[in-house]
Amino acid sequence: GAVVSQHPSWVICKSGTSVKIECRSLDFQATTMFWYRQFPKQSLMLMATSNEGSKATYEQGVEKDKFLINHASLTLSTLTVTSAHPEDSSFYICSAPDRGGGYGYTFGSGTRLTVV
């Protein structure tokens, strides 16, 4: 089936630095990628939707200058958390619509970001 590979699985960074998270579709072309954030013991909140070759669409309340999304190819979408602060510590997950036989979504395995 369709696989989205997400890296890194965890990262620790210092306040003020930037962190890049990558999501690659391994055996299909992901024209759309959804980025979610999940705080401990909470649900997944949609941050933004990226589309290959165009600007991402951000959900209300999400700072587009802080969470930079790039979807430069049909198999790679990246999320860069710029000038990270401790409150950005969270679990970030990407998801792409499954282009296989059934309708669904394929999720990456998630990235645990800890900002110290």
Partner 1 sequence: AQSVTQLGSHVSVSEGALVLLRCNYSSSVPPYLFWYVQYPNQGLQLLLKYTSAATLVKGINGFEAEFKKSETSFHLTKPSAHMSDAAEYFCAVSAGNRDDKIIFGKGTRLHILP
Residue 109 engages partner 1 in binding (rule: CB under 8 A): yes
Question: Which member of 69, 95, 113, 115 binds partner 1 (CB under 8 A)?
Answer: 95
Direct distance between the N- and C-terminal alpha carbons of the chain, in angstroms, rounded to an integer:
37
Closer to partner 1 by Cβ: residue 78 or 107 = 107
CB of 16 to partner 1, least distance (A): 26
Output the smallest distance, CB 110 to partner 1, in A: 5
State whether residue 25 is helix, strand or coil: strand
**Residue 97 is which amino acid?**
P
